[in-house]
Amino acid sequence: MMEEGQQEEMRHQFLEAREAALCVLSAQPSEVSNECLQPLIESPLSLKEKYREIDASDIIQSNAIGEPSEFLRRISTAFNILEKYGRNLLNPQKPKFWRAVKFNNPVFRSTVDAISGGRQVLRLYGYTEEQVDGMSFPQEVEAPDVHRVASVTVDVLLLRSELNLLISNLHPHPENFSKLLQSSLLPEAPLASDSVQVHEEFSRTPAPPQRSVTQECCTLCGGENASVHCPTCNEILCLECDRRLHQHPMRSQHHRLPVPKPRSRLLSSPHSTSPCSLVGDPSVSPSPWSPPHPAGPLPFSEMAGSYWRTLVPEAVPTPGGSAPRTPPTWDASIARTGRPPWHCVCCRTLNEARAVLCVGCDRPRGCKGIPEQEKGLSGGRERWSCQACTFENEAVAILCAMCDRPRLARKPSLSPGEGQPENIVPVKTPRQEACEWECEHCTFWNTTPGRVCKICDRSRTDANSPAAPGVSSTKEKGPDFRCLGVQPHSVSPASCEETERWRQDRLREDGQRLVNMIRAGEEFGLQPDEVFCAVQYSGTEVPVHWLQTELPFVLETVVELATRTKDVAAVGLVTQEEAKRAWLTCDGNIEEAVQYCTRERKRKVQEIRALGFTEQEQILQALYMNAGDVDKAITDLQRQLLAPFHARLWQEREPQFNFSTPDKQALLRRLLAVYSLPSWGRAELVVSLMQEQNRNYELQDIVEAVRQSHDKDFIRRMLAQECAVCSLELPRNRMQSLTSCECTICPECFKLHFTIAVKEKHIKDMVCPSCNEPEISDEAELLNYFSTLDILLRDCLDPDAYNLFHKKLTERVLMKDPKFLWCTHCSFGFIYEREQLEVKCPQCRKSFCINCKRPWEEQHQGISCEAFQSWKRANDPQYQVQGLAMYLQENGIACPNCKFSYSLARGGCMHFKCSQCRHEFCSGCYSTFHAKNKCALQTCTVRKSLHAHHPRDCLFYLRDWDVEHLQRLLQTEDVKFNTDPPAGTQPAPGGGCRVMEQKETLTGLKDEPCGKDTPVGYAGLCQSHYKEYLVRLINSHSLDPAVLYDLSEAEIVCKRYLQAVPQRAAGEDDRAYRNRLLKKLTEEAPLGENIPRKRI
């Protein structure tokens, strides 16, 4: 009872310490230290009680291969990476790609994927969705389960810490791991297994059924020392092939079993194809050929060296019905290579041991069976066979797991006898046999002379070099026909013809395939040698894609290898252009290309040094900058040598022309040479003009004028042009002129005029200072004018003025944006894209209403502009003091072009010119004012003067009516109007009307109060502004003044707006004629469309 109580107390303390570590890890993933884990490590509980999420015992057992210190350190390294995955998921600031884990990550492949159980820990984290290239969270999962991830991470941290202490012999309770480390040497432990405890949401897939194998050798290399069986791959392998095959991350977790070894190979039936019994496997019955096995497990080393099955080549029956025998060809192959032949799994054809592809179906030796696509089954990405070593790799693999060559590596050449009919015996001369050799790196049998293997591209050593022709070699590779009793010349003529026909067909097909590839490459601008080298190097069927994607990496490899040579000081850096030329010259052989680059670079350096250039660094730099071109490199080197000479040559000033010299011909020749004059007569003309007295022009001015004309009077006029502004005479080439006119302006006047225009005037005022051209109304023509003006101003204006010119051009473009606004406080323009009524100026930080343009107040929030104006009249004392003047000021003038608002009344001159965009319009109806001969209306009778086409309800016409007449028009529709000042109105300090107007003074336009007398009955305004007030009421209610027209007024208005005035009928009285005119007028001439119609 005491021990049970202590155990329960230790469990309780462990759970409390684990919960504390769990809380710290959830809150601050990066703050968990060894102090938090120390109570968990010091707990004497067993591993099963300590770890709540993972099965630590199974992880250690499944990875217990080799020395304990090695596999424990390998597990610790993997769990260090898994710990980082957990911390990243718990971190509030997660990485960008936290939802997925990619298998092609080199760190993942070498750590997590190198142990059994690493992926199961990721599944516990939440990476439950399997993908082709990795694992990821399901799409419906928006965020990881924090509590679950923290719990798994605590177990990962604890196991990693315990393994580190165990490796350093500092663990407080090593007895918990002693049994696991001792059992790691027992044969029951598999080579690789899934290590993580499986939860309910994860399920295992059943292992594929094992196929029946009828061979006793390794299914990959053909060796007789097969010792391991992989049920997943369905392969029987030797130790070396097992290491190479299962070092790939996709196969590192396969469960392998040792192969039992029979006591005697003679006990195995040579004709038996059934598998032998598996030692230790109760599911397989023992074979009668197997000896009794001793009790107890065998050591793993003994089991690894044994055999799983007895595999023998298929027997060949003799014609007489006697016992089958092995064909003499295979006997010779066995005698020569020491390896037995092999059966193709698909077509059961017996092949030589050195054959890589089956002669019957052309499938690789490592093929598992007929591919699914050939069986008519549909599926995703299939496994692929390496064209170099024929090993079948996973679909997601890029490099071959056996030979580490890329997926597009070249296909191996035909081995001796491959693809030929079985009844044809290959006959080789002693010279052909001497040229064949076996690669000591990949064991491929090369049939052509050379030093580079066609499979692995590695060079052979001198010890592997074949003997010279005619000399017997110590290592025989070819079959001994004399030992076989086969006569080389005993082949029937029919068989020879068939073999030759087969060979010719193969040559024709290969040639046609290469021609098609070259034609496809020419469509993309590729040369035939590029296509040929791509096929030679990679064996690809799509050389165009390979050249576009893979060739740059191959060239980088050539460049890198060339720079790593011991002669790098004499060779320098090699460019990719040189690497490509070398690669093409060497038919795609990388090693030969590297040697070619080095050899060519040394030759080019020697060639340049022979010309007298001694600086090695300069020579190498010139060759690198010119991609190995010797001629261009020499040109650059010579340019460097000639630089001091050129500097000295151009620094010397030429002597001035002496036009009083007696040698006139020498003077003329020099003029022709220096200024490139068109003829000898033009040169004489220059001399005669320079010899004139009282001239105010220089030689360069005369030369420019003479190039344009040979007329002496025209040249004199060109040399004496008068400035249109200051009347200064200068040569024409020194004058400035615009493209819109023919005025010539001196540089000083041109610069002064446009500097003032840019800084003080509008952008449209930047016209000719003499004729004020151009007057452009078309937007396209205006942009064309500004584009040519920009070229002229770039050289004559100061940088500040030129930048201001560009700023004004930009503002002019922005003003055309419908979202462009002007600030009513500081006149700053900006783009406003929000939908709120309150607009805050980014310049002065003050606010105003986007609709009524009034300064923003809190009372405007949530109500319309009309309601806010009514509130101001009733509650604002300052507003009431102004009376109707404030109303006229707030409902001032708004430019119809740029929407800029002016708090001014409309009295006085109706011709208004906007200070922002220079648009001229009527302040009453917003109609455009047209300059002389600029009106587009063809029937206009006043087109020769400044005018605008006002509607009949414009203030331009109604201001001529009497006050009583305007009041009677309002009374016809019962519209109320003021005759007395509103309540609270106070007179101006100086007296008179207090409405603000734009007045022209000696210093320019200025805004001042009106100041005129205010008669009684005019609501505190002068007569003109009271009329404006009444017209505002008429326009706001859309009243037609035609109802008060008499007959004479109706006739005048009809003549103004109607093209054809109706004639008076005979006997028609004045009233009927007037009504008919008014009806015609209202139908064809509506009221003004642009007049503001705001209700007061």
Residue 299 class from Cβ within 10 Å (0-12 exposed, 13-18 middle, 19+ buried)?
A: exposed
Q: Which amino acid, one-letter code, is at 590?
A: I
Task: Determine the Cα–Cα distance for residues 616 and 798; give it in Å rounded to an integer.
Answer: 50
Alpha-carbon dihedral 9, 15, 20, 22, rounded to 10 degrees: 170
The answer to whether 300 and 294 are in contact (CB under 8 A) is no
Task: Determine the Cα–Cα distance for residues 218 and 237; give it in Å rounded to an integer.
Answer: 5
Task: Determine the Cα–Cα distance for residues 668 and 681; give it in Å rounded to an integer.
Answer: 9
Task: Determine the Cα–Cα distance for residues 925 and 952; give it in Å rounded to an integer.
Answer: 10
Neighbours of 147 (CB within 10 A): 10
CA 901 to chain centre: 47
**Paired strand residues for 384:** 393
Compute CA distances 671 → 104, 366, 684, 689, whole Å: 75, 88, 9, 13
* CA gyration radius, the chain: 51
Task: Determine the Cα–Cα distance for residues 258 and 240; give it in Å rounded to an integer.
Answer: 14
- Tell me if the bond preceding 774 is cis, omega within 30° of 0: yes
Hey, CA dihedral for 118, 119, 121, 125, is it positive or negative? positive
Task: Determine the Cα–Cα distance for residues 284 and 57; give it in Å rounded to an integer.
Answer: 29
Task: Determine the Cα–Cα distance for residues 166 and 26; give it in Å rounded to an integer.
Answer: 27
Task: Determine the Cα–Cα distance for residues 1094 and 1096; give it in Å rounded to an integer.
Answer: 6
Q: Which two tokens stand for residue 663?
A: 């040698």
The answer to whether 557 and 590 are in contact (CB under 8 A) is yes
The answer to whether 866 and 853 are in contact (CB under 8 A) is no
Task: Determine the Cα–Cα distance for residues 922 and 954; give it in Å rounded to an integer.
Answer: 9
CA 1088 to chain centre: 56
The reply to whether 909 belongs to the active site is yes
For the chain, counts of helices (H) and of strands (E): 38, 24
Backbone φ, ψ for residue 492 (5° rounding) = -70, 150
**Paired strand residues for 437:** 446
Backbone φ, ψ for residue 134 (5° rounding) = 170, -160
- Name the nearest CA neighbour of 51 among 28, 70, 79, 26: 79
Q: CB neighbours of 838 closer than 8 A, spacing ≥ 6?
A: 847, 848, 849, 850, 856, 860, 861
| Biggest alpha carbon–alpha carbon distance for the chain | 148
Of residues 749, 909, 922, 925, which has the active-site annotation?
Answer: 909
Task: Determine the Cα–Cα distance for residues 969 and 15; give it in Å rounded to an integer.
Answer: 96
- Burial state string for 5-32 with b = 16 or more CB within 10 A and e = fewer than 16: eeeeeeeeebeebbeebbebbbeebeeb
Where are any strands of DSSP class E within 253-378?
257-258, 342-343, 350-351
DSSP state of 745: B
CA 120 to chain centre: 35
Q: Which two tokens stand for residue 188?
A: 């029951």
Task: Determine the Cα–Cα distance for residues 616 and 710; give it in Å rounded to an integer.
Answer: 58
Task: Determine the Cα–Cα distance for residues 453 and 440; give it in Å rounded to an integer.
Answer: 9
The answer to whether 131 and 138 are in contact (CB under 8 A) is no
Annotated catalytic residues are: 909
